[in-house]
Structure 1
Amino acid sequence: MTANAHLSRKIPAIIPVLKVATVSCVIFLLSACSTRQEIKYPAELTQQQSPQAQSSFMVARSAYDFKDHDIAVPANFNPQGLDNCNFSSTNENDNCPLKKPIIRVYFDGNDTQPSDQHNSEISALKQLNNDKLALLLESQLAGLNRFRIVTRDALSQTELQQQMSELSTKELAERLKNNKPLQPDYLLKIDTVKTAQRFYAEYNGMAQYSVELTASMIDPYSKEKLAYPNVGKIRVEGTDVKSKQQLVYTEVSGRYYTGFDYTNENNVNAVFNLMASKAFDVLIARLLTEMPATAQVQAFRDGQITLDRGRNAGLLDQDTVILFQYQAGFIDPIAVATVTPSSESAIGQIVRWKKSDIADNIRTRAQGKVIKTNTPVFAVSVGLPQSYVKNRL
C-alpha cells in the first residue's frame, strides 16, 4: 500500500476530530472573553419624546400639602442685594430684589401661517390683532399688582392732551412733577403665530386652529435679550379649549353641511378668543413663578405672622409663601404659610413649621406673645394660588 493511499484513509477520521476541537476552542475563547471583559453599552443620557402641543399652567401647591422636605425657598428667588432694600413699598431702591419690576408689553407682527383658509377664518385672524392682545395682557398683568405696567394704550395720550387743554400751566406743571412717566426695567416682547387649518377625512373633517406665543424679556437700555425671567413658548390648540367633537364638521360637494360651522366668523372668533385667553393664563402663571412676590415678616405670635406688604407688593389672597431667615448670604427655611393681604400689609397663618433649631426657637418664643426676630425673616410666594385660578382666570 502506498503512503498516499494510507493517508487518504486516515483523513476522513481526522476531520470530525478537528471540527470538534475547533468548536471547543471557539467556545472556550468566548467563555474566557465573557469572564474577562463585560460588553459595555453607551450611557443613555437622553430620551426621545414627542413635543406636547398642550400648554398647561402650574399652580402653587396648597400649604397643607407640604411635607418637611418641601419647605424650601423657591429657585427663582434672588436673596442677593437684600442689604440694599429700604423696604419702602412705593420708593424701593433699584438694587433691591424686592422692588416690583416695571414692564412694557410689546407684541411683534400679526403673523399667520399660510393655509387653505375660508374667508371667515382669514377675517378672524385679522381681528385678533396684536394691538388688542397687548392691551388685554396689560390689563391682566396690572390687576396682579406684581408688576408695574407702562401702557401703550393710545387713549392715555388723548387724555393727557385733554388735561393740558383744561388745566392751567401751573396746575399742569404740578401734576407732571408728581407723576413722572415710568421707565421700564423690562420689555416683555411676544411673537405670535396664529394658524387656521382644516383636515378632511373620508366622511368628515376637523378644524385645526392654534395660537403660539413666544415670549422674551429685553433690557430696553442695552437691547439685550435676557435669559431671566424665562417665560418660554406657549402653544394652545383649538382642542385645548373645545372638545374634538365640537370642532368636527361635514361637507357635501365641497361645501359646509353640518357640525362646526367654520364659515361663520363668530364661531371662529370664539375659538381664537378662548385660545388667546388660555395662552395669557399660562403666561401669567409662568411670570408669577419666575418673579415671585416677597415681603418682610414684622412679627410672630403663636401660629400667625404679620407682613410689611400686601396687595401693593403683588401678594394674592391665599398665596402660599415660604418663610425663611436670611443672614450673611445664608438662607434657613422656617415654615410654610398662607397669607391674606390688605392694601399695604398682610397677615398669615403658619401651616407647618420646618424641623430645625431655628424654627423651634421662634415657635417656642412666640407662644402666647408677640415677638420680633433679631435676624430678618422674609416671605416669598411659590406660584399662582389655586383660589386665583378658580375665581379670576
Structure 2
Amino acid sequence: MDSSPTFVIVGAGLAGAKAAQTLREEGFDGRVILLGAEPERPYERPPLSKGLLLGTTPRRDVYVHDAGWYDANDVDLRTATRVTAIDRAARHVVLDDGERLGYDKLLLTTGSTPRRLDVPGADLDGVMYLRTLAQSDRIAEALTDQARLVVVGAGWIGLEIAAAARQHGATVTVVEVADLPLQRVLGDEVAQVFANLHRSHGVTFQFGAGIRQLRGVGRVSSVLLTDGTELAADTVVVGVGIQPDAQLAEAAGLKVDNGIVTDAQLLASDPHIYAAGDVASAYHPLLDRHIRVEHWANALNGGPAAARSMLGQQVEYARLPYFFSDQYDLGMEYSGWVAPDGYDRVVVRGAPAVADGRAPEFMAFWVSDGRVLAGMNANVWDVTDQIQALVRAGHGGRAVDLAKLADPRVPLGDLLA
C-alpha cells in the first residue's frame, strides 16, 4: 500500500501550476494532483487582454508549461474537472463526477470570477467578459475595423481591451461611473493621463454613466445609459471587477473575508489547507493587514510560497504587490499598496502629459506624511527595485524628501542614503 503523502491543488492556473512545479523542484516525491475546471492546461492571464488580443503573442506562449511537462514530472493534471466540495473531516475533495480524492495537504488556487452586469439584456449574444482563454478568443474575433465596441468599466482590463480594439480599427466607447478611468486606484492627476492617452487614440468616454439596459434582438445592438444616451454596439465587453472564487472554501467552513483568509505562511483556517493567488486574503507582515492581490505577480510568486509552506518550510510571504499594463505606446509598472483614501498626495517625477499623441515618460508616487506607499513607472525602465525599496521604507515608517523625490536629477537610490 502506497503510504506517500498526497498533495491536491484545486485551481489549475498560474498559481496552481507554479505550486506543483515548486513541489517537485523542492524534492517532494509524493502524489501531486492538479485539478482545473477549464479544458485548457494551465496558462498565464496577462496575454488575454494584451498580446493575444493584439495578435502579437502566439497562443503557444501563454501556457505555463509545455504539454509534456506534467507527465514528465509525475503531476496528475486533470482538466475540465470541477471540485464540488471539500470534506475537511475526512480530508477529501469531491469531484463533479462523484469521485473522492484524499489529501494530506490541500492548496486552493481557485482564482476569481468576473462580476456580472445585472441589467435587462445582459444575456444577449455579443455581451462578453474576459477571464478565460476561450473568452479572449471570442473577443479577439470581434475586434475588427468594422466593430462597434462598448467597454463597460474603465479599469485595467477595460482599458487594455479598448487599446487593443482601437489598434484593430474598431470604434470604441468606454462607459464608466466615475469621472476618470482608474480614478479610485490612481487619483485624479494620474488617471487623467490615461484618459488623455486613450482620447488621443480615438476612444470616446462616457463618464459618470451607468448602464440601464442592453438592447437587441438575439444579439446586442445598443447600450442604453442611465442618462438616456443610447450607444450603438455590436459587441459589449464588461469589465467591472472580479470577485474571489471562494464559495468552495466558504461551504467547507473555512474563514472567508473578501477571499480565503490566510496567515503569512498562506495557511488557511485549517491546518491542512492553504490558499494562494487571487482567492487568498493573506496577512502581509510589512503592511500589517490582510490583502487580496489580483495580479499576475501574486500568482507567480504566491503559488511557490504556498508549496514551500506545505512542505513545512518557514515561509513569510511578504512580496510587495506588483503589476504591469501595456496600452498603446505606454508601458507601466506599479509597486506597493495603498487604500484609495490612504495617501495625502501624489508626487510626480517627469512630465506626465500626452504630447502629439505620444505617451509620456514619468514616475508617480503615492505618499502619506512623506512616506512612499506605492510607486508607478511609466515608460521609464529598470527602476522597479529602487521604487520597491522606497515603498518598503515608506511602509516601515521612513519618510523621504519630497522635493528630491520629484526631481529627476536626483537618483532614486539617493533618497534612502
TM over 0.5: no
Scaled to the shorter chain, the TM-score interval is under 0.3
TM-score (norm 2): 0.21
Larger relative contact order (Cα-Cα within 8 Å, sequence gap ≥ 6): 1
The structure with more helix, counted as a fraction of residues:
1
